[in-house]
């Protein structure tokens, strides 16, 4: 068998079109434009690329965006002061601080300083708590939410299924578990979370109806670890050397795509799977933040 490809680019385009329509309606009916501020501390090349993608997508969808760059030697106080300034800026409805910051910056303290109503990454404790409780008045984290939408729009219902999540990060693994176990449409799964201290991970992956890999190890999941007919979602983005590429490297996921695609029923590619959904859901959250702050109901 050959797996059906879950095309994240295509589904992200659908989400972005819907977001752009919402932005247009808000401008026409409420004379408001959602605003997003992206803060980057330092000159990490990968972070610069990610920030550039977010700013570009904002412009495409009609979202006002600003990029705030601080020197790599910026102090904790300088970062917090900038967050406070953005919290008080009525043109800015969403704030995100590109991760990871330099070592002198306490990322938890920075996140805690963001107004929860502007926390479009859903890293603030208030929004994390709402997510765990199933309270829809807050935000959902972009990558896990994107995966939930990928499943829904691909006709894959997790209800009653055994989902195995590889990885327990605060960005993907833990919130992914929380979303999947909710008593709600598109959830109701039985979830197992595996991590670096889990013995015999393959024992669990071979039992998964849906396998979500988010551990940051290139090509870790092989065909022998996957149950025939399973749905495989690959969150990993890893650079590996490739002398045949003009760049000298290529991007691969946490899943050995070539072998696993022969046993899975559905699979996400890397790139072009989960990645585009993360940015699409960020834009969605920026619009939601604007609606919350302006008390726009529709």
**Gap between the Cα atoms of 7 and 13, Å rounded:** 10
Max CA-CA distance within the chain?
56
**Gap between the Cα atoms of 166 and 199, Å rounded:** 12
For residue 240, give both structure tokens. 């590996």
Q: Where are the alpha helices (DSSP H) in the chain?
A: 8-30, 45-61, 76-87, 107-113, 125-133, 142-153, 173-180, 201-205, 257-260, 274-294
Nearest to 66 by CA among 84, 44, 93: 93
**Gap between the Cα atoms of 215 and 172, Å rounded:** 9
Q: Which of 57, 98, 227, 291 is catalytic?
A: 98
Q: Which of 115, 119, 121, 256 is catalytic?
A: 121
**Gap between the Cα atoms of 270 and 258, Å rounded:** 11
On whether the CB atoms of residues 29 and 59 are closer than 8 A, the answer is no
**Gap between the Cα atoms of 261 and 229, Å rounded:** 10
Side-by-side strand order, sheet with 94-97: 64-70, 35-41, 94-97
Q: Is 4 a catalytic residue?
A: no
* Residue 152: exposure state from Cβ atoms within 10 A (0-12, 13-18, ≥19): middle
Q: Is 54 a catalytic residue?
A: yes
The catalytic residue positions are 54, 98, 121
């Amino acid at each position: 068998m050959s797996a059906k490809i879950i095309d994240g680019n295509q589904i992200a385009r659908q989400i972005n079109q819907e977001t752009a329509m919402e932005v247009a309606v808000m401008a026409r009916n409420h004379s408001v434009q959602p605003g997003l501020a992206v803060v980057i501390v330092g000159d990490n090349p990968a972070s610069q690329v990610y920030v550039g993608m977010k700013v570009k997508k904002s412009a495409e969808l009609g979202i006002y965006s600003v990029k705030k760059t601080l020197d790599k030697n910026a102090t904790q106080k300088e970062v917090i002061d900038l967050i406070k300034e953005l919290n008080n800026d009525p043109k800015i409805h969403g704030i995100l601080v590109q991760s990871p910051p330099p070592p002198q910056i306490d990322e938890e303290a920075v996140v805690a300083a963001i107004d929860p109503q502007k926390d479009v990454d859903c890293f603030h404790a208030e929004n994390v708590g709402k997510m765990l409780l199933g309270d829809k008045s807050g935000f959902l984290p972009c990558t896990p939410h994107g995966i939930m939408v990928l499943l829904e729009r691909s006709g894959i219902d997790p209800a009653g299924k055994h989902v195995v999540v590889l990885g327990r990060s605060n960005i993907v693994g833990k919130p992914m578990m929380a979303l999947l176990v909710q008593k709600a449409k598109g959830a109701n799964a039985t979830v197992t979370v595996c991590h670096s201290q889990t013995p015999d991970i393959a024992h669990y992956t071979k039992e998964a109806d849906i396998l979500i890999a988010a551990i940051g190890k290139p090509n870790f999941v092989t065909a022998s670890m996957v149950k025939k007919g399973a749905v495989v979602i690959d969150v990993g983005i890893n650079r590996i050397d490739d002398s045949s590429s003009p760049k000298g490297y290529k991007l691969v996921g946490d899943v050995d795509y070539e072998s696993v695609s022969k046993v899975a029923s559905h699979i996400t590619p890397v790139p072009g799977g989960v990645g585009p959904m993360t940015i699409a859901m960020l834009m969605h959250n920026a619009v939601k933040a604007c609606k919350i702050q302006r008390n726009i109901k529709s």
